[in-house]
Amino acid sequence: MSQEATGLRSQLNPVSATAARVADAGDQPWTGLLRAAGLGALLTGLLIPLQVVAFIAWPPPEGGATEWFALFQDNPIRGLVSFDLLILLEEVLLIPIALALYLLLRRGSASLMLVASAMWFVSIVLFVSANTGFEMLTLSDAHATAATETQRAAYLAAGEGMLAAYMGQGTSFVMGYVLASIAGILVGVAMLRTPVFGRVAAYSAIAANGLGFGLFLPGIGILLSLVSVLILMIWFLLIGWRLLRRSATGAI
């Protein structure tokens, strides 16, 4: 009976029926993005504890470019992981996540999400450009094959500069970190204005990114950052599940 009534309404009001079909078709192109974002968020949530385990199992070498060059020569993969290779991967995965969140949250917080998305994308560029892991790998190879002490000294000096730019928290790293944290807080606020992701995800985003600023505090900075990372892991898993559910319909 309900199907007959629906068909009758469609015949009586063809304009509204056509509009509904167009709306449904218009939502479908976002299915792939939502699925990619959901899988990316879940993968990021799994990479975070893996990154913590890798840091504990393979602590960065103490010292300067000489010790880092030795690590890269002994085990290039371990050297790149110690130089935050997994964070680079997480930054790439953040691209579809940021786009999907903008699509889903823009209706209730258009200007807020536009600012947050812009900050996120700038932070991605800054983080990726700040990481000098592959440059360190190249310099370590050049240092290992250098023919003279002068050449080796030059490569060591270049390596120290690369370390200072990233491990020493240079401008690109600091600005990328700050912008990403502010963007995360804004996204959390936008989530509070819509039931799409729930209040737990919203408050997790605000708390994690707020605590992230503790990195710059002496003494307790590392502890606060660790708590922030653990909350972020939960947040990525929560939104990843919601994004995958949304991708089943493609609805935004």
Other beta carbons within 10 angstroms of residue 106's beta carbon come to 17
Cα–Cα distance measured from residue 179 to residue 194, given in angstroms and rounded to the nearest whole number: 23
pTM over 0.85: no
Report whether 194 contacts 174 (CB < 8 A). Answer: no
- Amino acid making up residue 94: L
Handedness of CA 218, 94, 208, 181 (dihedral sign): positive
Q: Give residue-wise pLDDT tens across range 126-162.
A: 999 999 999 999 999 999 999 899 999 999 999 999 9
Pick from 173, 171, 138, 143: nearest CA to 157: 143
State the 10-residue block means of pLDDT for the chain, 252 residues long.
42 44 55 94 94 86 90 93 92 96 92 96 94 94 92 93 84 91 96 93 96 85 87 96 86 66
Cα–Cα distance measured from residue 70 to residue 63, given in angstroms and rounded to the nearest whole number: 11
Mention every residue, 6+ apart, whose C-beta is less than 8 A from residue 152: 143, 146
The residue ranges of every structural domain in the chain are 33-247
Cα–Cα distance measured from residue 207 to residue 205, given in angstroms and rounded to the nearest whole number: 6
Q: Give residue-wise pLDDT tens across range 72-87.
A: 999 999 999 999 999 9
- Amino acid making up residue 160: E
Mention every residue, 6+ apart, whose C-beta is less than 8 A from residue 153: none
